């Protein structure tokens, strides 16, 4: 990855005008989210457009709407999408998610949401907006997502492990129930750093699993390669 772009197998992400660059978190969510039955997909806070493009690559029937509040990020996401093979199936809308009122509901909503919910604001305004989301917190994310979901719809997010309880409490408060929880570990013996969670509208048995990114010698694990091999050039 350079400071200006990251090249994947089927598309390139330029991110020099985006506060939040291409990251493992985004790649994990884009590769993990349950896209198989999703025709209408919403990417909340798309940033570079990475997750929206991953979903378009994974499901040839999906139409993705990508919303982004930051003007520079929205413009760069649009440029990345225009240069991709799926520009006809991904729309970028510059708007505050809480003001977004589409004509139809979504089968899947994905978000790599703001995660420093209670932290001090960082000094760079654009990066602070991306990390805190302005007024977008877990409560508002799940409240509005619940309003936008189709009857069998799902919401998939990636959050820091220490924020997972807060995110799940906010989801439960809006009748969104965890269906799958995948803990992410950098390597065996280290604490979980992130959690992938999919929520649905019905109570069901929770599926729990884990992904380790690195082996003890520092190479990538087979499970991580299998999850992301459609995207990374070296897998």
Residue 59: per-residue pLDDT: 98
pLDDT over 70 (residue 136): no
Q: What range defines the domain where residue 64 resides?
A: 5-228
Query: For residue 233, is it within any domain?
Result: no
Question: What CATH number does residue 156 fall under?
Answer: 3.40.50.150
pLDDT over 90 (residue 128): no
For β-strands 63-68 and 40-44, DSSP reports them as parallel
Listed in sequence order, the residues at least 6 apart from 122 whose beta carbon sits closer than 8 Å to its beta carbon are 116, 128, 131
Helix axis angle for 71-82 and 50-58, nearest 10°, is 30
State the sign of the Cα–Cα–Cα–Cα dihedral 180, 110, 194, 234: positive
The predicted model scores a pTM of 0.91
pLDDT over 80 (residue 131): no
Query: For residue 19, is it within any domain?
Result: yes
Residue 19: per-residue pLDDT: 86
Give 50's Cβ-side CA count (13 Å radius).
27
Residue 113: per-residue pLDDT: 85
Mean pLDDT to the nearest integer, 197-208: 97
Domain count, the chain: 1
**pLDDT 10s digits, 147-193:** 999 999 999 999 999 999 999 999 999 999 999 999 999 999 999 99
**pLDDT 10s digits, 25-80:** 999 999 999 999 999 999 999 999 999 999 999 999 999 999 999 999 999 999 99
Query: For residue 60, is it within any domain?
Result: yes
**pLDDT 10s digits, 82-126:** 999 999 999 999 999 999 999 999 999 999 986 544 433 444 444
Query: For residue 51, is it within any domain?
Result: yes
Query: For residue 215, is it within any domain?
Result: yes
Give 18's Cβ-side CA count (13 Å radius).
28
Query: For residue 9, is it within any domain?
Result: yes
Query: For residue 234, is it within any domain?
Result: no
Query: For residue 235, is it within any domain?
Result: no
């Amino acid at each position: 990855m350079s400071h200006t772009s990251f090249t994947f197998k089927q598309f390139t992400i330029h991110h020099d005008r985006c506060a939040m660059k291409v990251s493992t978190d985004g790649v994990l969510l884009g590769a993990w989210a349950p896209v198989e039955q999703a025709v209408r997909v919403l990417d909340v806070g798309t940033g570079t457009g990475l997750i929206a493009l991953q979903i378009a690559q994974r499901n040839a029937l999906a139409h993705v709407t990508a919303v982004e509040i930051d003007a520079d990020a929205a413009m760069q996401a649009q440029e990345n999408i225009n240069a991709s093979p799926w520009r006809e199936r991904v729309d970028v809308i510059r708007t505050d998610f809480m003001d977004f009122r589409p004509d139809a509901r979504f089968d899947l909503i994905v978000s790599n949401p703001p995660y420093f919910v209670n932290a001090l604001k960082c000094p760079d305004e654009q990066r602070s907006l991306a990390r805190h989301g302005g007024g977008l917190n877990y409560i508002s994310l799940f409240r509005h997502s619940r309003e936008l979901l189709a009857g069998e719809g799902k919401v998939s997010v990636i959050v820091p492990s220490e924020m997972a309880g807060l995110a799940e409490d906010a989801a439960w408060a809006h009748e969104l129930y965890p269906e799958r929880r995948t803990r992410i570990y950098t390597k065996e013996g280290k604490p979980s750093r992130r959690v992938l969670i999919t929520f649905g509208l019905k109570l069901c048995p929770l599926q729990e699993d884990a992904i380790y990114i690195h082996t003890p010698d520092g190479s990538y694990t087979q499970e991580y390669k299998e999850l992301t091999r459609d995207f990374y050039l070296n897998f």
